[in-house]
């Protein structure tokens, strides 16, 4: 009975956190880019070009393995197009800390004619919260994740928060 109670408590906590994240993303996003979940992206069969829409200092702390940093404040569409396949059906997943900045960048790719573009739901925070690995600039696994700010950092539940 105790195990069932603990399981129900964990499920209800997860559902509650998910609803809060849904509410946050609904507030900031237009949903003009489809989401992909961290679980789906982590599947071995999911092959995609990963674009990191965070700033350089965030990317340098950690990022998803194989990700290409395209930035947000310094995002340049022409430069990004040189870094990705010309095949506009290529699966591309854009992420940031939570999935807010990445929606803007992903939408620019859609406007450019790319048809298989996704926004990573919950961004690198949700990725790390689900215990998936991140790497530093040398490609080594790390627990560190740039938490952007104290306000946004509250969404990062696992890993070591870095603010500078």
Domains in the chain: ranges and CATH: 30-162 (3.40.250.10)
Residue-level pLDDT at 164: 85
Residue 12 has pLDDT above 60, yes or no: no
* pLDDT attached to residue 6: 45
Q: Output the CA–CA distances (angstroms, integers) from residue 37 to 46, 48, 64, 87, 126, in the order listed.
A: 11, 13, 14, 23, 9
Which tops the pLDDT comparison, 44 or 14? Answer: 44
pLDDT in tens, 63-87: 999 999 999 999 999 999 999 999 9
Q: Catalytic site residues?
A: 96
Q: What is the mean pLDDT of residues 12-23?
A: 65
Q: What is the mean pLDDT of residues 87-109?
A: 98
Residue 151 has pLDDT above 50, yes or no: yes
């Amino acid at each position: 009975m105790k195990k069932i109670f603990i399981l129900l408590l964990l499920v209800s906590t997860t559902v509650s956190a998910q609803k809060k994240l849904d509410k946050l993303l609904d507030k900031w996003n237009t949903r003009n880019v489809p989401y992909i979940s961290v679980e789906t992206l982590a599947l071995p069969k999911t092959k995609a070009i990963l674009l990191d829409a965070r700033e350089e200092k965030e990317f340098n702390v950690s990022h998803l393995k194989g990700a290409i940093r395209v930035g947000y404040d310094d995002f340049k569409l022409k430069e990004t197009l040189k870094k990705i396949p010309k095949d506009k059906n290529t699966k591309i997943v854009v992420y940031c800390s939570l999935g807010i900045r990445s929606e803007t960048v992903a939408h620019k790719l859609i406007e450019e004619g790319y048809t298989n573009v996704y926004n990573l739901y919950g961004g690198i925070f949700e990725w790390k919260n689900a215990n998936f690995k991140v790497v530093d600039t040398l490609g080594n696994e790390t627990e560190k994740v740039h938490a952007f700010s104290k306000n946004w950092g509250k969404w990062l539940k696992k890993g070591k928060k870095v603010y500078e």
